[in-house]
Amino acid sequence: MPRLRISDKQRAWLMAQIAQWRGQEILTQEQASLIIDSYESALESSDRKRTMALRTVMGIAALLLGLGVLSLVGYNWERMSATWKLLVIFGAILATYASAFYVRISKKLELLSEVLFLIGSLFYGIGIFLIAQIFHLNAHYPDGVWWWALGVIPIAMAADSLIIHALLCGLLAVWCGMELSEFDFHPPETKDLWRSFFAASSLPVLVLPTCIWAYSKRSLWAVWMVALLLNWWLILQPTQWGSENGTGIYVGTMGALMLLVAQCHRAKDRFAIPFRILGSFLSASALLLLSFYGFNKSVRLAGGEIPMFLQALVLFAVGIAIFVVFSLAMGYSDKSNALKDQRVYELVRRQWVPFSLFGLMFLLQYWQFIQGSPWFPTIASNIGMLALSLWLISLGLKEDRGLPFLAGVLYFLLWATVRYIDLFGDFGGLLGAALMFFLCSGTLFAVSIYWSRRGGRKDVRISH
């Protein structure tokens, strides 16, 4: 079993506590040794940090080397025949990959093999565009980046390297941006809406190996890359619908989807953090925009459109599918029926905020489509802002995390400030400001009292 990672500050605290417990005869020497052996040593931690720094530096060096080779070949490119050009391209790719496998398998030089795999992947991508230039192939140019990413996938899995997976995610992000922002696929007829929504539809499939690798290797950096890439892909989709009226609601639906994925993780699981941060930011931004009466009035005058209405249904269906997959995975992982039911119930209970946001965004999308009164989305979005802020505060309290608690408090204060300016500034005056600030103060006092009493109950349970 691999040792758990621990920071220098945490190690210093742990060693001090173990020394104190040994002095109080709470722990034996054998127990203390078992605890210490569960975590990586100071030397292992130092080696890990040094290896990460070396990987970064050597990755940059490999990138510069690839650019240098490209410049050198380009200088003599026109003087070479097509046959020699192909020999140089395929020879460089095969020689680099063969060297990478050789030093990995025979010499056990993992870091050097990662650099060679990276250089080989760069040569592979350069070769795609050079071959197209040799034979004067005039095609849809983002496809070149797509084929580059496709060829990097098996290398990323074979190299077992974060650097190669980072290259893969970068290529997919570039391809997605080129495909969705530079080419207009907006369908002229309703029958083509399905094709329009799933523009660049192969991206989730191509990023799936990196997602599996990230969780199997417990790599938080890789999870961050996957989460950011999926958000980038989703947020570019409205460009294919030729409408900006429902973008705010669409962003809120994206946030609900990210929060649903986050809440499918176990409590206090650090791999939920990327999805929770992105989901909270997207949801909070969308609700803030939708909480203004003037914005909802302008959107109502513009009218709703079918593509922006259907996307809510599709994303909600995706969220349901993700929830079902996680529920089944939890069910199969536990042999005890009682434990299985308890974990599935806990998973369902943790999803009330994401599903509420899904329902709210779908309702607002429908309301916009039928051109209803702007007062309803305004009031509903303000209630949603309050619910999201209180949920973040309670999440921080339950999981003892400072970031969601602070985010919830700041979002609550932002709501109070914006609503004072928006609602009370013209006709409420100082009395309106006083009322708003009294309400906010009372709410924060209530949260503080709840937190202190909850901590007291915890202490009582532990002492007994």
Close Cβ partners of 132 (under 8 Å, ≥ 6 residues apart): 139, 144
Residue 427 has pLDDT above 60, yes or no: no
Decide which of 400 and 255 is more confident: 255
Decide which of 159 and 67 is more confident: 159
What tokens appear for 275 in the block? 């999805």
Distance CA 266, CA 250 (A): 27
Distance CA 333, CA 157 (A): 25
Amino acid at 246: G
Backbone phi, psi, residue 294, to 5°: -60, -40
Q: List C-alpha distances in Å: 264 to 267, 339, 363.
A: 9, 17, 24
Tell me what pLDDT residue 343 has: 66
Q: In which residue are the tokens 């009330």 written? A: 352
Count of CB atoms within 10 A of residue 306's CB? 12
Helix (H, G, I), strand (E, B) or coil at 184: coil
3-state SS, 47-61, equals: HHHHHHHHHHHHHHH
pLDDT band at 342 (very low <50, low <70, confident <90, very high): low
Nearest CA-CA partner of 350 in 261, 281, 284:
261
Distance CA 48, CA 440 (A): 47
Distance CA 445, CA 241 (A): 46
pLDDT in tens, 152-206: 999 999 888 888 999 999 999 999 988 887 655 544 444 444 444 556 788 999 9
Amino acid at 259: L
Q: How far apart are the first and last CA of the chain?
A: 33
Q: Give the least confident one: 88-92, 217-221, 311-315, 327-331.
A: 327-331
Distance CA 126, CA 21 (A): 60
Which of 19-23, 60-64, 72-76, 451-455 reaches the highest mean pLDDT?
Answer: 19-23
pLDDT in tens, 251-287: 898 899 899 889 888 878 889 999 999 999 999 999 9
Count of CB atoms within 10 A of residue 372's CB? 15
Tell me what pLDDT residue 258 has: 92
CB-count burial class (<10 Å; 0-12, 13-18, 19+) for 36 = middle
pLDDT in tens, 205-226: 999 999 999 999 889 999 999 9
Q: List C-alpha distances in Å: 434 to 26, 430, 438.
A: 55, 6, 6
The helix (H) or strand (E) run that includes residue 158 is helix 142-159
Q: Give the least confident one: 102-111, 202-211, 282-291, 334-343.
A: 334-343
The pTM for the full model equals: 0.78
The helix (H) or strand (E) run that includes residue 307 is helix 306-333
Nearest CA-CA partner of 375 in 312, 432, 291:
291
Q: Mean pLDDT throughout 301-309? A: 57
Decide which of 318 and 228 is more confident: 228
Given a contact cutoff of 8 angstroms between Cβ atoms, the answer to whether 259 and 357 are in contact is yes
β partners of residue 39? 4
Count of CB atoms within 10 A of residue 5's CB? 13
Q: List C-alpha distances in Å: 444 to 390, 398, 419.
A: 10, 16, 17
Tell me what pLDDT residue 223 has: 95
Given a contact cutoff of 8 angstroms between Cβ atoms, the answer to whether 58 and 115 are in contact is yes
Decide which of 341 and 346 is more confident: 346
β partners of residue 4? 39
Distance CA 331, CA 343 (A): 8
